[in-house]
Amino acid sequence: MSSIYFLGIGGTAMASVAVALSHAGHAISGSDTQLYPPMSLYLDDHNIRYFNGFSTHNLQHALPDMIVVGNAISRGNPELEYALNHHIELVSMPELVREQLIGTNTSLVVTGTHGKTTTTSLLAWLLEHGGLKPGFLVGGIPENFTIGCRASGRSEEGYFVSEGDEYDTAFFDKRSKFILYRPDIAIINNVEFDHADIFNSLDDIKHSFRVFVNLIPENGALFVNGDDSLAVEIASRAFCKVERFGLTTESEWCASNISSERDASSFDISYKGILLGNICVPLFGNHNIMNALAAVAAATGTGLSFDAIRRGLALFRRPKRRMEIIGTFPGNITLIEDFAHHPTAVRVTLEAIEKLYEGRRIVTCFEPRSNTTTRNIFQQELSECFGPASIVVIGKVHRPDRYPPEESLNTELLKESLQKQGKTVFLAGQNHGTYPDDIVAFLQGQLIYGDIVIVLSNGSFNNLKNLLSENFQKNS
């Protein structure tokens, strides 16, 4: 067994892989800055040793055989420079996953701009419930497993399910991560422009997906969102079997008669026009129906029966930070957290909440944090995606120094546009007190009985979720 050091261990996937390899018997350590829950707690719970901050002394203390370099690490990092100077072996996280975890297993890879974590969690759980003991890598913590990554439980003819991110791999490998996962069975949920820091255009993203599709063997299978024209276009060049999933009868896998209650959604599922039966899953919104449909289609590719799949879906538990209900507080205030950060994800999440909590007011706290939403690329789209919300809180733009003013998101302009739609808008971090305590103070004077408060961010939002929870409970 090896001593493996994770440089940038606080990333969701990095931490999950670190724990999985620790369970496999490797000596694991690592370092990062600004580690925060849930991943800091996850590492602590699994007794993974890590250093806060980067220093050459960390490597001198750990003496690793190999360093896994996270894709957020760049030249100039003191530990990376030390490793290069001393010829320590460097690998990327996807490369390590392919070699150590996927191996000769049948590789199922879930891709798409949106829905990857939920769909991967669904698919891994369906295989687990069906007795296939899959290995998996999920970009979050799936509640059915409580760990984000593990090796396959089968020594022969096993399965490994990967969340296939289109983001780049490492400073020395600018390919999309999913290209390294050797797909046998693949899903493309949707294709949109995102990750403006590494992709210059939608065509660049389409190129990465085409390369991925071209890696699927002839005896493999590709399941593609039939309601997404770009995904269908990309899938048209596949050499393997291609089947579509969607909400229209043109797709081979079709969901219809969708209904939602407070605990779950149900829908009929048909394959090539033949009704297979009704499915119930504890997810909400048409986007999650599509996620479930994709997972069902891919699970059948492993030989699982429809009845086994249906029973598994009913027992699925959502991954953390995916429409996660944090709690209901005095005054019937419900606090929800979601990872949505792309305008499309924000829109479909809020639409799902509006339908689920019909008649209740929605208060949205949104943090412009990703490399795309901190720029003005989606200036117009962000002004159009908060439709169901009555109150919108815009958090501080994360690391505003990265881009010049003419390229950055204009939050004042965004505020004006949302106010014209009749919404109450608050720009946080504008000298109204300590951030994000100013958000808590603002909401104290705005909330009414029955409000739904949702926190949307792909980061920690400066611990806003916990601050709100404490405040709501304290003011009972």
CB 115 within 8 Å of CB 295: no
Is the per-residue pLDDT at 319 higher than 60?
Answer: yes
Could you name the CATH architecture of 3-93?
3-Layer(aba) Sandwich (3.40)
CATH superfamily, domain at 103-314: Mur-like, catalytic domain (3.40.1190.10)
What average pLDDT does range 67-84 have in this prediction?
96
3-93 and 103-314, same CATH topology? no
CATH classification code of 324-474? 3.90.190.20
How far apart, in Å, are the Cα atoms of 386 and each of 114, 176, 228, 340?
Answer: 17, 30, 22, 12
At 5 the pLDDT is 98
What average pLDDT does the segment 149-163 reach? 91
Q: What is the dihedral angle through the alpha carbons of 12, 13, 19, 21, rounded to the nearest 10 degrees?
A: -170
User: Helical H runs in 236-362?
Assistant: 286-300, 306-314, 343-356
Flag whether pLDDT at 93 surpasses 90: yes
Mean pLDDT of 50-55: 95
Q: Between 35 and 8, where is the model more confident?
A: 8
Average pLDDT, the chain: 92
What is the pLDDT confidence band of residue 348, given thresholds at 50, 70 and 90? confident
Residue-level pLDDT at 374: 86
Q: Map residue 268 onto helix, strand or coil.
A: strand
pLDDT at 299: 97
What average pLDDT does range 362-374 have in this prediction?
A: 90
**pLDDT value of residue 403:** 82
| Domain coordinates in residue numbering, the chain | 3-93, 103-314, 324-474
Amino acid letter for position 208: S
Rounded CA separation 346/387 (Å):
10
Taking phi first (over 0 means left), then psi (-120 to 50 degrees means alpha), and beta for anything else, what does residue 53 get?
left
- Residue 102 CA to residue 100 CA, distance in Å, equals 6
Which pLDDT band, with edges at 50, 70 and 90, does 355 fall under?
Answer: confident
pTM of the model: 0.85
Mean pLDDT value across residues 373-389? 90
Q: Note the pLDDT tens digit of each residue in 412-451.
A: 999 999 999 999 999 998 876 799 999 999 999 999 999 9
Contacts of 199 (CB under 8 A, 6+ apart): 193, 205, 208
